[in-house]
């Protein structure tokens, strides 16, 4: 069986693994095809490709945090050209938005919880290419304020109002397509720690997302059960959308193994991911 994982993260965004460690893990896994899809950055793509076992097919990817109309969503881009100017401009804009969100959260921790970060902690946060809530949560865990990053985020950060610091959905999709990429709606029923939406709401949102120009759905996902996967596969086929799949691996920042594409850990052959017919053509 040919195996693929089209949704993994390194510490260039909010994963725990360095590019070297992640490339080693993937190279020694049973995966045959992999995509690196760090949040709002392409910084690790070149190094990862150089370090990865050449027998593994590599797809250059990205995951953009978006607001498409009134829909909060994550958009995956596959087969992107990292040197595309429009994509570079969007990523540069994203760094400013993330810095604004980080500063708001740092102030919130101080004002509401009387938690003031040290200069070393601040220096580490500001050195990140794509800093997210998980990075702050890890600091809180290291201080012994929570057992893991998920409860740390829920207790100390989820109530912090940061305003809209997401990319405009149309802008993000246009940038991916300008970079030659294929656009996939990531975990459309809900991602890590989110309550999964109903089938009827998914179908309602899908019409809007199609109008923005998505090409596919992430149907096979580590947090989706058999019923959810079957529904998404059926929906993708009915709407002539590519079928994609990924674990959303983040190293120790999430308890998801590489290559897991559903809650039952049933292996999914790459032939079931129709997006590969386009991406690897």
Produce one character per residue of 249-258: b if its CB has 16 or more CB atoms within 10 Å, e if not.
bbbebbebeb
DSSP, collapsed to helix, strand or coil, labels residue 251 as helix
Distance separating alpha carbons of residues 87 and 182, to the nearest angstrom: 13
Checking if the pLDDT of 215 tops 90, the result is yes
Percent of the chain scored above 70 by pLDDT? 100
Distance separating alpha carbons of residues 186 and 189, to the nearest angstrom: 9
Produce one character per residue of 121-159: b if its CB has 16 or more CB atoms within 10 Å, e if not.
beeebeebbbbbbbbbbbbbbeeeebeebbebbeebbee
DSSP, collapsed to helix, strand or coil, labels residue 65 as strand
Query: Tens digit of pLDDT for each residue in 62-92?
Result: 999 999 999 999 999 999 999 999 999 999 9
Q: Which residues, listed in sequence order, are joined to residue 185 by a DSSP beta bridge?
A: 75, 217
Distance separating alpha carbons of residues 12 and 131, to the nearest angstrom: 9
Q: What is the pTM of this model?
A: 0.92
Tokens 């725990």 locate to 16
Checking if the pLDDT of 130 tops 80, the result is no
Query: Tens digit of pLDDT for each residue in 139-180?
Result: 999 999 999 888 999 999 999 998 888 999 999 999 999 999
Tokens 């305003």 locate to 163
Residues 46/82, Cβ–Cβ less than 8 Å: yes
Which phi and psi angles does 94 have, rounded to 5°?
-65, -35
């Amino acid at each position: 069986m040919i195996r693929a994982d089209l949704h993994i993260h390194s510490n260039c965004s909010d994963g725990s693994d360095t590019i070297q460690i992640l490339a080693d893990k993937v190279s020694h896994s049973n995966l045959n095809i992999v995509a690196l899809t760090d949040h709002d950055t392409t910084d690790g793509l070149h190094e990862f490709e150089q370090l990865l076992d050449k027998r593994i097919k590599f797809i250059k990817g990205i995951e953009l945090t978006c607001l498409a109309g009134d829909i909060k969503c994550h958009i995956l881009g596959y087969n992107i050209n990292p040197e595309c100017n429009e994509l570079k401009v969007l990523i540069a804009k994203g760094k400013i938005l993330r810095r604004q969100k980080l500063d708001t959260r740092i102030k919130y921790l101080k004002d509401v919880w009387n938690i003031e970060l040290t200069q070393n902690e601040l220096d580490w946060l500001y050195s990140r290419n794509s800093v997210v809530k998980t990075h702050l949560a890890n600091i809180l865990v290291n201080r012994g304020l929570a057992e893991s990053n998920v409860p740390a985020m829920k207790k100390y950060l989820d109530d912090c109002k940061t305003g809209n610091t997401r990319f405009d959905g149309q802008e993000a999709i246009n940038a991916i397509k300008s970079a030659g990429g294929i656009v996939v709606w990531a975990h459309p029923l809900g991602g890590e720690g989110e309550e999964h939406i109903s089938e009827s709401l998914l179908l309602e949102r899908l019409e809007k997302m199609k109008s923005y120009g998505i090409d596919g759905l992430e149907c096979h996902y580590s947090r989706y059960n058999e019923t959810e996967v079957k529904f998404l596969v059926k929906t993708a086929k009915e709407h002539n959308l590519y079928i994609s799949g990924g674990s959303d691996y983040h190293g120790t920042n999430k308890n998801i193994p590489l290559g897991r594409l559903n809650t039952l850990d049933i292996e999914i052959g790459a032939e079931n991911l129709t997006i590969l017919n386009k991406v690897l053509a």
